[in-house]
Structure 1
């Protein structure tokens, strides 16, 4: 982090550390490719058993989520570290999940890989 004066009160420094990354996540675009998301084996389409929720994990570190007939209901950035995934929606919403035995567990949902 740059240009954070050391004379700031501890609460202001903590706020700067927490809030600064959010702007960066929201400002990322589809042309930026985070290294952690480029080569993982989880890129592709993940769907709930009923097909209502569909997460497309793009190889450029972006995702596109559809819900029912609403295409691109949510879009944003994601990173995979091991079997864990973190999401940052373009509006600033965050979420995470885990890949367990080839299944994505995310926000109380279970998503399966679509071939």
Structure 2
């Protein structure tokens, strides 16, 4: 599922928008779980990381991608920060 486990592991964790409305958990098993507002698990699926690029495939088959730059995740027109 993941070409370079080290790349994936460096980004595992919770990523949140500044307002906390969207929360995306990148799990160590190559799965993600995204909550929106009060909707837990609004989107779920798998992800792969190569370098600083992330590709998502949700469980319905929808695909998306994003980029990590300077410790920030840019995805779907949103900006995510690693939750501390």
Q: With structure 1 as the length reference, what TM-score do the two structures score?
A: 0.68
Alignment length (residue pairs): 82
Q: Which has the higher contact order (CA 8 A, sep 6+)?
A: 2
CA distance in 2, matches of 1:44, 1:107: 18
Q: Which runs of 4+ in 1 moved over 4 A?
A: none
Find the residue that maps to 2:25 and give its secondary structure: strand
1:1-115 matched pairs, under 5 angstroms: 34-36=1-3, 38-39=5-6, 40=8, 41-115=10-84
Structure 1 unaligned blocks of 5 or more: 1-33
Please state which structure has a larger fraction of its residues in helix. Answer: 1
Aligned-residue CA RMSD (Å): 1.1
Point out the structure with max Rg over C-alpha: 1
